[in-house]
């Protein structure tokens, strides 16, 4: 059984908004370091945003000021609110979990504890 299940992707025009949702199951704790990565066609995976046990967040420079990561502990759910979307935001978005409570350079990591199956986001110009 997958422990990270994403939803909320879709197609939107540039300037629009989407909210991605990741439901956390099993042994992955909602207060672990959790985050979102993305992968565009022909590109490697890119760390987008993370949130740690204490609610501290980090963002890649490419999304800072436009995207916001949050969680609802009662619903065991992680969110990524994406505003002012651009065509270059088009990618498969993955919910991820790191090893432990705190995010130490998680945005740059390739070895993570868990990955969701991904949800597609397509932004048209």
DSSP at 19: E
Average predicted confidence (pLDDT) for the chain: 95
Phi-psi sector, 72: left (phi>0), alpha (psi -120 to 50), beta: beta
pLDDT band at residue 29 using 50, 70 and 90 as cut-offs: confident
DSSP at 15: T
Q: Is the pLDDT of residue 30 over 70?
A: yes
Q: Is residue 119 within 8 Å of residue 21, measured between CB atoms? A: no
Q: Is residue 92 within 8 Å of residue 80, measured between CB atoms? A: no
């Amino acid at each position: 059984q997958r422990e990270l299940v994403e939803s909320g992707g879709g197609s939107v025009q540039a300037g629009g908004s989407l909210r991605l949702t990741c439901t956390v199951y099993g042994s992955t704790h909602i207060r672990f370091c959790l985050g979102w990565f993305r992968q565009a066609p022909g590109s490697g995976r890119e760390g987008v945003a993370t949130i740690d046990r204490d609610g501290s967040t980090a963002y890649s420079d490419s999304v800072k000021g436009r995207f916001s990561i949050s969680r609802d502990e009662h619903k065991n759910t992680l969110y990524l609110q994406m505003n002012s979307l651009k065509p270059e935001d088009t990618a498969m978005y993955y919910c991820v979990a790191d090893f432990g409570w705190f995010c130490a350079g998680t945005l740059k990591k390739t070895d993570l504890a868990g990955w969701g199956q991904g949800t597609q986001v397509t932004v048209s110009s």
